[in-house]
Amino acid sequence: NRVDQLGLGLTDSDCKRVTNKIKNLADIRPLSLDDVDKLLRMYGQAMDTDSHHAILDSIDTPDQITGM
């Protein structure tokens, strides 16, 4: 899967949470692979500071991904 390809150490629970966010955002507009990768990387990096859940909660639209 994409998480493995990017070398991110996400748990199954984390993957499900991010996937759910991606699906919700894709309902607003299609996401590019770059958008998905950026979201996955931001989530993975935020795990270091235990702010990964806040990252997902702070994104309400796909445009917020490209603006980060």
pLDDT digits (tens, 9 = 90+) for 12-62: 999 999 999 999 999 999 999 999 999 999 999 998 899 998 999 999 999
The region that residue 50 occupies, defined by phi over 0 for left and psi between -120 and 50 for alpha, beta otherwise, is left
pLDDT value for 48? 86
Residue from 13, 11, 38 nearest 25 by CA:
38
pLDDT value for 28? 96
pLDDT value for 1? 84
pTM for the structure as a whole? 0.89
pLDDT category at 68 given cuts 50, 70, 90 is confident
The residues near 15 (Cβ < 8 Å, ≥ 6 apart) are 1, 3
